[in-house]
Structures are given as structure tokens and as C-alpha cells.
Structure 1
Amino acid sequence: MDEALREKLVDWIGPLVGGEVTSLERSQARREGFYVDVLGASGEQRAFFLRLGRPGDPANDPRTTAFEADVNRTLRALGVRVAEVFGTKPDCHAALYERVRGRSDLERVGAAGQQAIYRDYLTQLAHLHGLDPDRIRIDGLSRPKTAEDCALVELAKVEADFAPLICEPLATFGLQWLRRHVPRTVDRIAFVHGDAGTPNFMFENEAVSALIDWEWAHFGDPMEDLGNAAIHASFHLSGEWPELLDHYAKVSGMPVDLERVAYYRAHLMVRSVLALAAATTRWDPHTPVALNLCFRVVSDRICCDAIAAAMGIELERPELPDGPEAPTTLYGVVAENLRSEVRPAVEDAFAANRLDAAVLLVQALERVHRLGPALEQIELDELSKLLGDRPMDLASGLARLDRELPRLRSRTRGRSPPLPRPSRVADRTALRARREPVSGLRAASAGPRALIAWRMSDRSCSRSPSTRR
């Protein structure tokens, strides 16, 4: 944050909360935020959290900052445990929240504590899912009408935001897989978190203090939140899931559909693959590059696992090739200098976090230097089996694979059993219209249009991608 923006925010926050800003410290999370300390008019210490948007930064989109503030205000008024919003400053893309008491590192809690905390969390989710949708009015949100809409409308928004920025075959395959396996039923249309699970809630004394990080919230199938929470358990230990799902069913009054839960496990990971691929297409030194790269690798792996699990497929675990051993490299020298000589002298928490990330990047470069050529040959061998010939290099091979997947789907759809031509459908519905005036008239107007939409080969083609809120 530059000094001019800092001064502007301090001048806004002080009068807003009735005190003097004494500290503005950057948090270490991937999305940009700041811990704000304020000395109140009566001498009391008050704690806040400032969320900041950055135009042009997909991870810190100003529209998301404004949207989250709107969600928190709305849900807090309906009794959901969320942080209080004290104000927003649109010209700075900023929102000021109370700093919620508690922590989010559930994996550091013992097994019994994890179970108790997560039971309370699922109770809070059940309360969220039980809210009357008519009472939730948030700009930019529409309510789906079908199970297909629940699965695909938000997916189209994420795709519109991120797909143009990347060339990622896993994302292409994942999007197509989600469209081919859309759930056919939904028990209840509810307001869902969209990224539920650890660490997107705070807890204290074995109880949830607040649900946080609402950037992907929308109306949809409650099974989406259960699937998201279950996939987050791959990253963070979160208790015994059979008992937890039984608990959710009891407190929500709604059965848990394990097939839909499995689908939405994959759904979140495909969205994550898209978002993280976009976040790692350019190297912005002011973003957490190392953390994004780590999350991208893990998300890619878990995305494959989630799709395979939903299909009942067992995946093999490839071995890393043996690379040439080097007792000391220049990469190793730089990493060791940073870790043992520079790091002890750094006192600022955010700067220390950035320095640790720099060490990770140097270590990653060393592994790329040592193992990269062998890994590329292995991947070229595997691509040649799929493409029929060996690409010149990995980048062109992946780009070609990304182009071939839609062509395969198009050919598959093109070989689907043909339906009558639209003119014949129109003739038949017109004939029915003479026999059944009201219902036939509706059919005559809808028949050809529906057929044309079917001819567009994939469900995604019949829906215009909307812009993200």
C-alpha cells in the first residue's frame, strides 16, 4: 500500500469508528487485508479488519470486495454468524469489518475438539441453508430454478472470468466433465457459501465465532457446501465425516445425497484450477506467488482425485524421476543465505512471511533446474499417446491438447441421434395447436427454439457467460 492510499484510509477509518488509528498491519493471507488497531475516544483499544480490492488483480477484484460486504450485512441481519461491517469506501475499494475473535487452524486442534467445532460449523451451515431465500436480496444475484442451474450458472461466471486468461487442459476437461455429470435433482434452493469448510470460518472455545470469505456465495444446492467442506478436509483435518454428515442431516432436516456431495467436491476443485491457473499466469511481485504456486499444484492433484472418486476410478501415483545430485548449487546458496542470515534480522511479520516465500521460490527453481528436463520428457511421452505423435515441446503439446478436447466433444455430440428438422417440429406442434389451442400454442412457440438450443452441442453453448459480480 502506498503512503497516499494509507493516509486516505486512516483519515476515513478514524472518524468512521470514533477513534484514532494506531496501527495498520498487512495480513499474511493470499487476499489483501490489514489488521487495524484503533484507540477509542474513551481510551479503549478496538480491533478491526480492512479488506482492500485492487483493480486488475483477479484475486483482489474490487467487485468482490463490495459484494462480500453486502453479503455480510445481509446475513448478519438474519442471524448468521458473520463479521459486522462498519463501512465501505468505494473510491478506495475498501471495506472495514470487526476483527472476529478466534482462529481458523482447525488442524492444530485435537480430534475431539475438531469434531465438536465442526459439528457447530455444520449447524451454522444448516441455519444458513434454512433461510428464506426471499429475505436475501443482494445485488447481482439471481436464483436458480433447476438442479442444472445450481451447478452451471455460477460455473459459467467463474469460467467467463478466468478461462480467457489461461491455457489449461485440466480446466477444459474439468468444465466439460461437470457439464456431462450435472445432478438431476435438488431438494432445496438455498443461499450457499460457495467455498465452505476449513479455514473459511473462525472458532473459539469449540464454537464457531464467524463464517468468513464469502466471495463465491450464491443461491444453489446445499450439497455444494457439503462437497466443498469435504474437499477442504483433504487440506485440513476436520473430524470424522460420516458422523458429521449425519449431524447435518439431523439439524437441517434434509437428507445428504452422497452422489451430489461427490459431484460438488469436484466442482470446487475445477473452479480452483481455473482461478489458480489465472493467478499464476503472470508474476506480480506484490502477490503471494509462492503460495499461489503451491496451491495450484495441490489443487490440480486434488481436482484429479475428486473427479476420479466421483467416477469410482483408482488413480496411480507417479514417481518423481531421479535427477542429478549436486551438493551445492547457486540456488542453494541463495536459499541458505536468505534463511539463515537475512531471516533472523527481519522483525516485521509480513516481510518475514514474504522472505519465507522467496526461499520457497528459490528452492522450487532449483528443483526445476535439476528435474525439469526429465519431467518434460515423461510428459511428452504421455502426450504423444493421447495426440498420436510427439509434440515439439511441452507448451505446444498442452495447447494442442486443450484444442483437441472441445473437438472431441463436438464430434461426439455431432454423432448423437438426429432429431426432426425444426420445420417438421413446427408443423407437428401447429397440428396439435388446432386440437389443443392453449397448450399447443405454447408448444409451437417453444419447440423449434428448444431444438436449436439442443443442436448447439453442449449445455454451455446455450447459456451466455455472464460477467462476475
Structure 2
Amino acid sequence: MTTPRPELPAEIRDWIATVTGAERVEVKQVPGGASRQAWFVDAITGAQTRELFLRFDPRDPDPASAFHPLAVEAEIMSELYRHGVTVPRVLAAHPQRQAVLSERVPGGTWFSRITDPDEQVRTARDFIAKLAALHRIDARELTIPGLGEAGPVEGHVRDEIAAMRTRVDRYGKPAPLLRFCIDWLERNIPAYDGPTVLVQGDTGPGNFMYADGRVTAIVDWELAHFGDPMDDIAWLSLRTVQDTFTDFPARLAEYEQLSGHRIDEDRVWYYRLFAETRLASLHPDSIDTRASVPVDSPDAGNRLIYGMLHRRLLVEALARVVGIPEVEVDLPDETVESEHAPVYAATASTLAGAAAQAQDPLAVRYVKGAARLVKYLAEVDRVGAVVDADETAELAALLGRVPESVPQGRAALAEAASRGEISESDYVAQVWRGIKRDDYLTRTASGALSRRTWPPLRHPTEGIEQKEADRWASPSPKTTVS
């Protein structure tokens, strides 16, 4: 059964015709998000055609959401355009519906599809120049009613932490690790008294458009907020985990020169944890669950592996800021086999055959996602009991009793840490050991994703030839954050 493509409401078409003065409006939906639709719009008058772009969300704005309503995004882009930032020019925002009409900007969005390494570097450098230009703007000079006035960074950080806490409270169920991270962030806000900037949030490859080695537009401002410039550097490093972005330390050195903001590694690590905690607060059920998959989604396989990636990145950042360099975990022998291994292998082969025969790209994605679920289940069947027994023993040693299950033990450990009965370092070290076991069980499903981690902020040695450093980049599959 084919899901019907959504139609653009007649009232939105009529609004476009009114604001453009067009005699005829033609629209075509293009990939650009889930509930927030993206449309190419041709506003035609006589022999002239204006090529425009429409973002449309059929839902009413959610006051509790971390994502701005489209009207606020329009305010942000309009003000940035006035200040010379490379963003699409907004023509109009609908007065009642979530719809924003802007000029259509040429260019691609999948950075990993740039096959020429030199073009990759030119594009990445141009993005860094534009991010630096954004961060040179004094946020107090920006008039964005939806964001209010810019003040000291600490106040904006506290406001966002309060919003995270509200989202978790609204969830109404225990979220021990997530609450621990929120509490830690609130106790350890960096002592920064430098200039406040507009942080794009979720900035980097995938959220800008490019052509011929140049960035043609920076897009997606739904998480923009006032804050610390290192907040955006953290987001950029997060997107770099998921997509090609050339040599990261070299790009940061360029950023320092162009922006006037020194890269503060401790602050970047704080905001790495901040970014991952903010993402987790949008779906509080995901962070404390080994295999967080939506039971009603055909894309559950991909949600499994990206959920695991973000959980691991969160805990790696938490360990870094707490001061834990590494933990050791004994993992099961790779040669151990399950008696059901042939059945899992046959299922994987069947799914691979189905993917090869499918014509619909979305169907191929879903079938490959199902294959990931099978690979994960095969590992759980093979060594899940061994992994759980090892972690249960560690939890029992810390708690002074044997927990009923690994999830129950993890929750009890978080509660004990919150009461001061277990030290912060002991708690985080144990969480990290648990995450390493979860990651081990997911590794065959995740493939190359299981080997990715936060990029370095500095080169380990001085005098590296930047040309050679830039050449390390190779195209990788495009993925998304939010």
C-alpha cells in the first residue's frame, strides 16, 4: 500500500499568490524533514517565473518544543540577512499558519557527496569563514522578538537547562542518566564573560547548501539561541561525527583566526555534553534504554544505531568533563556462537535479497534497517546473557546488593549517586562500562558508525602540513541529528 503524498492546502497556495502577485503557483514537494515539509514553488506571471522555497508545518506550534515555530525561524533569518549573513532571503511568513516563503537558493546539501577532496576543503573553509562572521556579530545588535534580548551567556545557558528539565519532568517517568547530566550541567556552567553570540545549534554539514566550493546558504535555524560561541563548535563537532568535514583541527585553527574567539577545549567539551543532553531531553525514553526503538516505526533499525551513537557520545563527553580518561571492559570472545546463528544468517540474507529487488528508495532504507535489527538480536542471543552477568556483578559490588536486572541496577546506581552514596566518578565510570557493553552488542548492526567518536580539537603534533591533513577526508554516508 502506497502512502499518499501530502497536498499543499489551497489557502497556502492562495497566500503565496497574494504575497508574490503571481498569476499561477506551481509547487513540488522535496525532501526536507518529517513534519516540516519542504516545497519548491514556482510563482509564474506571464513569461516570468520566480523560483521560491516554502517550509510548511501543518501542525500548530508546540510551546513546549525545543524547536522554534517557523515564524521565529523567519525572524531569525530576516535579521541575519539584514546583517549580511549568508541565509535565504525571507519573503513572507504566514500570519496564522506555520509557513515561510523564501527565495530558492541553488546548491546541494549532502556534503559527503562532494567527491573532489580539494572541493571538500574549499567548501569546509568557506563554511568556517561564514560561521566566524556570524560569531563576530554582537548578539545585542540583533532584533529577534521570538528570542528576546541577548544577555550574559550564563543566563541563556540556565534558561536552556531549565527547559531541558521541564521536558524531562513532562515525560513523567524515571530518566536517571539524563537527570544526572542536567544536574551536572547546571552545577558546572563555564565561567565565561566573553561576548554573547547567536548560536545556530546543529550547525555544520547537512545544514548548509553549497555549490562549486562555496557555501550558498546556511539553513535550518530551528534550534538557534543566544549563547557561547563554543556551543556552536560543539554542535559542529557533533555533525562532524556523522558526516565528512575534512580536517577538524585545521578548520578550528581557521575559525580562531577569523572569528577572534579562541577555542577553549574545556568549554567545547561542556557544550558537547550540553548538546547531547539537549537532544536526549527531546526523547527522554531513549537515553536509559539499551535498545531504544519505536515499535510503530518502519525506520526502527536506523533509530537503533543512531540512538546508540548518541548515547555513546553523551557518555564519552560526560566521562571527559568529569575527568575519567578511560575504562576497561572485558567483552565476550568473538568466536562464541549461538545455536540460532544459521537462522539469523538466513534472515539477513533474505532481507538483503529483498533490498536488492526493491525499487522504492524508502523501502530499501526500511529493509536495510530491519537487517540491522536482526544483526542486533543475533548478538543479544549470542552473548547477551554473558554481558548482563558481568555488568550485574559490577553493579552489585557498587550497590551492596544484586539488582533484579541490569536496567534496575543502572537506575538504582543513578539514585545512589544523586544521594551522594556513590561518588560522581564511580557512577560515571560504571555508566561508561555499561555503554561500552551496549555498544558491543550493537556494533555489527552499526557497522562503521560504531567506530566513530568525537573529533580532536587540536593536532597531536605541531608542524603538520595542512595540505596533507586536509587530504584525509573521504566521502561517508549522510546522516541527520534531530
TM-score by length of 2: 0.71
Q: Which has the higher contact order (CA 8 A, sep 6+)?
A: 2
1:335 aligns with 2:334: no
Supply the distance in 1 between the matched residues of 2:410 and 2:63 (Cα, whole angstroms).
Answer: 23
Identify the match of residue 193 of structure 2 among 175, 186, 190: 186
> Residues 280 and 286 of structure 2 are in contact (CA less than 8 Å); yes or no, is this contact kept in structure 1?
no
Partner SS state of residue 46, structure 1: strand
Query: What is the letter of the counterpart of residue 77 of structure 2?
Result: N
Alignment counterpart, residue 317 of structure 2, candidates 300, 306, 325 = 306
Q: Are 1:408 and 2:420 matched, yes or no? A: yes
Shift of 1:327: 2.4
Do residues 356 (structure 1) and 381 (structure 2) align? no
Distance 1:397 1:282, change over 3 A: same
Q: Which runs of 5+ in 2 are unaligned?
A: 425-482
In structure 1, the residue matched to 2:377 is 368
* 1:9 pairs with one of 3, 9, 12: 12
* Distance in 2 separating the partners of 1:389 and 1:78: 61
Change (3 A) 1:46 1:141: closer
Alpha-carbon distance in 1 for matches of 2:251, 2:422: 42
Tell me, what secondary structure is at the counterpart of 1:199? coil
1:209 to 208, 216, 219: 216
Following the alignment from structure 1 to structure 2, what is the Cα–Cα distance between the partners of residues 121 and 90?
33
The Cα of 1:190 is off from its aligned counterpart by 1.6
Q: Aligned partners of 2:373 and 2:41: how far apart in 1?
A: 37
Q: Is 2:55 the counterpart of 1:40?
A: no
**Alignment deviations for residues 151-174 of structure 1 (CA, whole Å, 9 cap, x no partner):** 332232233234532643332232
User: CA offsets, 1:206-253, max 9 Å, x none?
Assistant: 111111221221111112112221232222232223332222222222
**2:243 equivalent in structure 1:** 236
How many pairs are equivalent? 405
User: Equivalent of 1:268, from 269, 272, 275?
Assistant: 275
From 104, 117, 133, give the equivalent of 1:99. 104
Q: Which has the larger radius of gyration?
A: 1
Alpha-carbon distance in 2 for matches of 1:386, 1:75: 52
The alpha carbon displacement at 1:64 in A equals 3.0
Checking the alignment, whether the CA contact within 8 Å between 1:142 and 1:219 is kept in structure 2 is no
Q: What secondary structure, in the 3-state scheme, does the structure 1 residue paired with 2:419 have? A: helix
Deviation, 1:360, is: 0.5
Residue deviations 1:117-136 (CA, integer Å, cap 9, x gap): 22222221222122232332
1:104-125 CA-partner distances (Å, limit 9, x unpaired): 3333434433332222222212
RMSD of aligned Cα (Å):
3.7
How many angstroms apart in 2 are the aligned matches of 1:276 and 1:367? 22
Give, in whole Å, the separation in 1 of the partners of 2:275 and 2:26: 39
The residue correspondences of 1:433-452 to structure 2 (distance < 5 A) are: none
Out of 130-139 and 28-37, give the one that drifted further: 28-37
Which residue of 1 is the match for residue 78 of structure 2?
73
Q: State the match for 1:297 in structure 2.
A: 308
SS of aligned partner of 1:234? helix
Alpha carbons 1:62, 1:93 under 8 Å: kept: no
Separation of aligned partners in 2, 1:62 and 1:254 = 27
1:184-211 deviation digits (Å, cap 9, x = unpaired): 1232112221222222222211111111
Tell me the residue number matched to 1:438. Answer: none
CA contact (8 A) 1:193 1:216 kept: yes
Paired residue type of 1:104: T
The Cα shift of 1:275 comes to: 2.5
Alignment check: 8 A CA contact 1:305 1:315 kept: no
Distance 1:317 1:379, change over 3 A: closer
Contact map agreement 2:140 2:151 (CA 8 A) in 1: no
Alignment CA distance shift 1:287-1:334 (3 Å) = closer
- How far apart, in 2, do the equivalents of 1:302 and 1:184 lie? 24
Amino acid at match of 1:126: A
Distance 1:200 1:235, change over 3 A: same
What corresponds to 2:454 in structure 1? none
Q: Which residue of 1 is the match for residue 404 of structure 2?
A: 392
Deviation at 1:149, TM superposition (A): 2.6
1:417 aligns with none
Answer with 32-41 or 394-403: which moved more. Answer: 394-403
Secondary structure of 1:94's aligned partner: strand
Counterpart AA for 2:12 = L
SS across alignment from 1:391: coil
CA–CA distance in 2 between the matches of 1:382 and 1:30? 41
Distance 1:214 1:120 in 2: 19
Task: Find the residue that maps to 2:245 and give its secondary structure.
Answer: coil
Give, in whole Å, the separation in 2 of the partners of 1:146 and 1:293.
38
Q: Deviations over 1:26-45 (max 9, x none)?
A: 51645632232426222537
